[in-house]
Amino acid sequence: PVLNAFNHLLARLETSTSGIQRFAADASHQLRTPLSVVSANLEILEGSSRHWTPQERRLIADSRDAVGGMTRLVGQLLSTARADGARISSSADLGRAVRRACQAARERRSFPDGALRLRLPAEPVTVLGAEDLITEQILNLIDNAFHHGAPPVIVHVQTTGAVCVWDHGPGVDEATLPHLTDRFFRAASSQAHGSGLGLAIVHTLAEAQDAQFHLSNRSGKRSGLVGGIVFRLPRIFA
């Protein structure tokens, strides 16, 4: 009887967790359409021939930034809901996924020359994972580096299946490092705005792809935070 009751409890917990994940995914998906409409309307307003006062233009710009941040947050919640408890077994072109992340980062903000630097191996690198999820991970690491660190931000892809992203900021307190992947966590010293989900999503997506994610401060006299993801390489059978 005790074993049956325990199994029943586990089944209920699994059903409850799945329901929460479905709700988060559905809610995030439904929010995308109205946010897209608001964003499009703001662009129309901003580009209209009406003579806006400086205050009105600031209000429109602030609204556009707020909608952009909310759209990004909704996308992060959707990625988290999809990845929680999932296991990805497909293969991906690591270099292509990382290039897409760098391109998306450049489209999102204006970088000075050399602020974002990508280092790719000469040969393609195939890893176990999903390209869209890898792109999301690297984009989150780049965003985190620019929000909380300092340029230049380096993205280095290795033939071993590892990707490292590091900045040249001050790094973080060693006691804070273990908490950076907690959802909604923000360091007390951070002055940047954000959802506190970026690194948590990187960690969750790494687990879904059976990859290893780690954070550390750069060693020696070099400053900055390093985010590294090691993806598994597919087995090659003779």
Using a cut of 0.75, tell me whether the model's pTM lies above it. Answer: no
Give the pLDDT mean for 182-208: 74
Q: Which residue in 177, 176, 163 sits closest to 211, CA to CA?
A: 163
Q: And the tokens for 184?
A: 């909604």
Q: pLDDT averaged over the chain?
A: 81
C-alpha triplet 130, 205, 224: angle, nearest 5°? 110
* The pLDDT of residue 74: 73
Judge contact between 189 and 171, C-beta under 8 A: no
192 has a pLDDT exceeding 60: no
Q: For residue 8, give both structure tokens.
A: 């029943």
Percent of the chain's residues with pLDDT above 90: 35
Residues 167, 146 contacting (CB under 8 angstroms): yes
Which range among 39-53, 110-124, 219-233 shows the weakest confidence by mean pLDDT? 39-53
Q: What pLDDT, on the 0 to 100 scale, is given for residue 81?
A: 66
Higher-confidence position of 227 and 59:
227
Rounded to 5, what percent of the chain is helix, strand, coil? 50, 15, 35
pLDDT per residue over 98-141, tens digit each?
999 999 999 877 778 889 999 999 999 999 998 988 999 999 99
Domains and CATH numbers, the chain: 2-83 (1.10.287.130), 91-230 (3.30.565.10)
Residue 235: the pLDDT is 79
* Spatial separation of the C-alpha atoms in residues 156 and 161, rounded to whole Å: 11
Residue 7 has pLDDT above 60, yes or no: no
pLDDT at 36: 80
CB atoms within 10 A of CB 16: 10
pLDDT at residue 17 is higher than 80:
no
Cβ density class 30-67: b for 16+ within 10 Å, e for less: ebeeebeebbeebeebeeeeeeeeeeeeeeeeebbeeb
153-157 β-sheet, strand order: 116-119, 153-157, 162-166, 225-230, 212-217
Lowest-confidence segment of 14-23, 82-91, 177-186, 200-209 by average pLDDT: 14-23
What is the pLDDT at residue 84? Answer: 61
Q: Please tell me which of 77-81, 123-127, 220-224 the model is most confident about, judged by mean pLDDT.
A: 123-127
> What is the reported pLDDT for 135?
93
Give 83's pLDDT tier (boundaries 50, 70, 90). low
Query: Where is average pLDDT lowest: 47-51, 145-149, 233-237?
Result: 233-237
- The DSSP code for 168 is S
User: How many angstroms separate the most distant Cα atoms in the chain?
Assistant: 76
